[in-house]
Amino acid sequence: MAKLIHSMVRVLDEARSVAFYDAAFGLKVADRLDFDGFTLIYLSNADQTFELELTVNKGRTDAYTLGDGYGHLAVSVPDVEAEHARLTGAGLAPRKVVDFRNGDTPVAKFFFIADPDGYQIEVIQRGGRFL
Catalytic residues: 122
The answer to whether the beta carbons of residues 23 and 90 sit under 8 Å apart is yes
Tell me the C-alpha distance between 128 and 80, whole Å: 14
Do the bridges between strand 120-125 and strand 73-77 make them parallel or antiparallel, or are there none, so unpaired?
parallel
Cα-based distances in Å from 104 to 11, 101, 109, 110, 123 = 40, 6, 14, 17, 22
Q: 71-103: string of b/e by CB count within 10 Å (b at 16+)?
A: eeeebbbeebeebbeebeeeeeebeebeeeeee
